[in-house]
A and B are shown apart, each in its own frame.
Chain A
């Protein structure tokens, strides 16, 4: 009976995996084909891989875009996690009705579509440009700043902190740790899996972010991967072989981050830490 259940699980997961992964495999295959073959729905590997990659790295500035995207994504992930977890922890551990109310107000900020605040935000950065040029329009900093402080991650960490054993905080105080010490020495290591999940999401959001970088970054030297891909599909005769190659390369970093981080999702780890 149990064995049967196991086999059913594997079959189910395999079907789900195939359905999920199919488009990615198609992209991998398309990367090796000519544009004409791709639009006609060819599903077999071709011989055009080298040509597609050559165009991508020589005619299009893929390297710059990769470097920019990496800088933005790494800094964003780090700061997002730090600021978000500090606040999520603060709201839950030092809970007061006042903070609860502020928390609820903060949640409002994730409810408006970004398109609606984009123009005022752009004007704000126009103002910043005039006084602090290195944070202004057309700087990587401008692409990063509004994305590192989000109600989303504060909310995420707060909900996860609810599952965190409060006794640990008290134990830390008895051991004479400072409040910040408790956060860094006890909370942070204990919540490793939450950080892992947040890191995946933050990295992915930043890596795929389109609309804000699009309007705030103007020069080609500052462009990111999604901007480059959008541009590749722009002409009257887009080259789908090159586009697919770019997309495969663009997908890999997030997939790698996910693969590394998901290793922390090992059942039963918490039990041992708590014990």
Chain B
């Protein structure tokens, strides 16, 4: 009995597995997105008040007849869906247009070589802010249509700073060392913290090093550059100085970060321009905010302009790509008028340079005490040093975050960065 059923059961299992494997293998070839031109184009993006709204606006302003289906997904969800679809080779269900964060773009372009459709024939890359081009192109081909800027500014509470004796002048064109000095003074005179930071998030480090034209990798996008990276050293030192200065309100997630300034607990928010709407959400603080240039690192070549976040549109290499590319080119790619509407209706700031001459860019922002915010940001945007983010930003950052903890706990800076370098090189073969 025993002998019999063991044998039989194994045969059955094998038989079933064989059948399924065969079925699955034979179906592999029939999968994929080959087919004729679809009459509907789909686009994936993630923020209903921002990039989704921008796509809606583009759809409205597009003169040709197009059926565009705009689908909202969280950014992390898009990354997962796209990776799953592209790596399985199953293009069914993939969108024609997708928004990808600039710091991730090189990963996608290199990991899926034939999945994206070059846009060189449709747009002129030189029309866009220079710093957007390195992350959105590969091997001399322009794949991304540069969209929003993450140009940074130092958002600050004019009332608190005034109480401590500082004006816009005093915050303009400063270094991070000066910023820390002011921070201590503000804390002493007003009792308010200078900044809210999440100790697990090194976003500010990235802002600092890009202002000096540096990154975690060298210009080739792959050589790890942590050890002997002057900018990174300075950024780490500044970060530690801040943590030790007793003016940091720690947060552990996004909502606490927003709460820190909405509640009036912190005096400044150095951030990408997209934080504006979150600040404006607290109506009672109207007129109490202004934006200065971001501080710079104290070193040769560093400027008071940097970037945090920002994303671009990509066209997938599947049927409908020409339609999709044409649509993008005629709206985001070349229409000055479209960008005026974008600023007025959506409040989104693109990276298309010719648009900054338009009237809408001169508008005064009431919430920020009448400051010409859009105009200032677009001016700073053109100064952002161009760096190649390469493919490993997030992988390296996780390694750096661990070493940052060690550094804050007393490890020497040289050792911390050398260890991070060694670990990154081992991991990113």
Q: Which of A18-26, A196-204, A215-223 contacts B (4 or more CB under 8 A)?
A: A215-223
Bound complex: CA of A129 vs CA of B5, how far in Å? Answer: 37
Task: Please choose the segment from A75-83, A115-123, A149-157, A250-258 that sits at the chain B interface, where 4 or more of its residues have CB less than 8 A away.
Answer: A115-123
| Interface-located stretch among A99-107, A169-177, A178-186 | A99-107
A119 is contacted by which of B87, B92, B254 (Cβ under 8 Å)?
B87
Task: Name the segment of B24-32, B232-240, B416-424 touching the other chain.
Answer: B24-32
Stretch at the interface among A34-42, A159-167, A264-272: A34-42
Report B326-354 residues with CB < 8 Å from chain A CB: none
Q: Is B19 an interface residue (CB 8 A)?
A: no
Complex A-B: 12 CB contacts under 8 Å: A40-B262, A99-B9, A123-B31, A126-B27, A126-B90, A129-B92, A130-B27, A131-B30, A136-B92, A137-B90, A218-B93, A234-B75
Which of B9, B10, B88, B258 contacts A126 (CB under 8 A)? B88
With contacts A98-B6, A98-B10, A236-B278 known, is A131 near B27, CB below 8 A?
yes
CA–CA, A39 and B403, complex, Å: 30
Q: Is the CB of B47 within 8 A of A234?
A: yes
Is B46 a contact of A41 with CB atoms below 8 Å? no
Interface residues as binary, B1-40 with A (CB distance below 8 Å gives 1, 0 otherwise): 1100111111001000000000110111011100000000
Chain B residue nearest to A235 (CB atoms) is B47
Are A234 and B73 interface neighbours, CB within 8 A?
Answer: yes
A36 touches B9 (CB 8 A): no
- A137 pairs with B92, CB closer than 8 A: yes
A233 CB–B CB distance under 8 Å: yes
Which one of B60-68, B77-85, B365-373 is at the A interface?
B77-85
Contacts of A126 in B (CB 8 A): 27, 31-32, 88-90, 92
A contact residues around B427 at 8 Å (CB): none
Closest residue of B by beta carbon distance from A219: B71
Tell me the complex Cα distance, A170–B343, Å. Answer: 79
Is there contact, CB below 8 Å, between B89 and A127? no
| B222 CB-CB contact with A under 8 Å | no
Which A residues have a C-beta under 8 Å from some C-beta of B? 35-36, 38-41, 96-99, 101-102, 105, 118-120, 122-131, 136-138, 211, 214-216, 218-220, 227, 230-231, 233-238, 240
Chain A interface helix/strand/loop/mixed: helix
Cβ-defined contact, A102 with B282, below 8 A: no
4 further A-B pairs in the complex, CB-CB below 8 A; given A122-B90, A137-B92: A119-B84, A130-B31, A218-B71, A240-B255
Contact partners of A123 in chain B: CB under 8 A: 28, 31, 88-90
Q: How far is the CB of B26 from chain A (nearest CB, A)?
A: 8
Contact mask for chain B residues 41-82; partner A; CB cutoff 8 A; 1 contact, 0 none: 000001111100000000000000000000111110100110
Which residue of chain B has the shortest Cβ distance to A220 in the bound complex?
Answer: B71
Q: Tell me the minimal C-beta distance from B2 to chain A in angstroms.
A: 5
How far apart sit A207 and B27, CA to CA, in the bound complex (Å)? 30
- The one of B8, B47, B259 that contacts A98, using a Cβ cutoff of 8 Å: B8
Given known A-B contacts A126-B90, A220-B72, A235-B46, A41 and B259 have beta carbons under 8 A apart:
yes
Q: Which residues of A contact B7 (CB under 8 A)?
A: 98
Measured between beta carbons, the chain B residues less than 8 angstroms from A227 are 77
In the complex, chain B residues whose CB is within 8 Å of the CB of A237: 49, 277-278, 281
- Whether a CB of chain A sits under 8 angstroms from the CB of B175 is no
Q: Are A102 and B84 in contact (CB under 8 A)?
A: no
- Residues of A near B229 (CB, < 8 A) are none
Q: How far is the CA of A126 from the CA of B29 in the complex (A)?
A: 10
B380 CB → nearest A CB, Å: 19
List residues of chain A with CB within 8 A of the CB of B81: 214-215, 218
